[in-house]
Amino acid sequence: MIGYSRVRTAIQAIRVVLCAFVGIGKARDLSALRPQHVIIAGLICAVMFVTGVITVVNIVAN
């Protein structure tokens, strides 16, 4: 079972990455995040973004 703190850290990492993608954000306490968390969340968000763009382009082109 995943602990509450791990889920909270994962959600915080995803929020930080999404704010960076959009270009908005506030000063946050990032002391609980490890670089690995942010890198993994960034890779997941980047793959989802590219997949979404490819899907939209395919739908519009067909």
Q: What is the pLDDT of residue 6?
A: 80
7 vs 43 pLDDT, higher one: 43
pLDDT in tens, 8-32: 888 888 888 888 888 887 767 777 7
Q: Mean pLDDT in the chain?
A: 86
Please return the burial class of 20, using the count of CB atoms within 10 Å of its CB with bins 0-12, 13-18 and 19+.
middle
Contacts of 46 (CB under 8 A, 6+ apart): none
Q: SS3 of 56, please?
A: helix
The whole-number average pLDDT for the span 39-53 is 93
0.85 exceeded by pTM: no
- Distance of alpha carbon 41 from alpha carbon 24, whole angstroms: 17
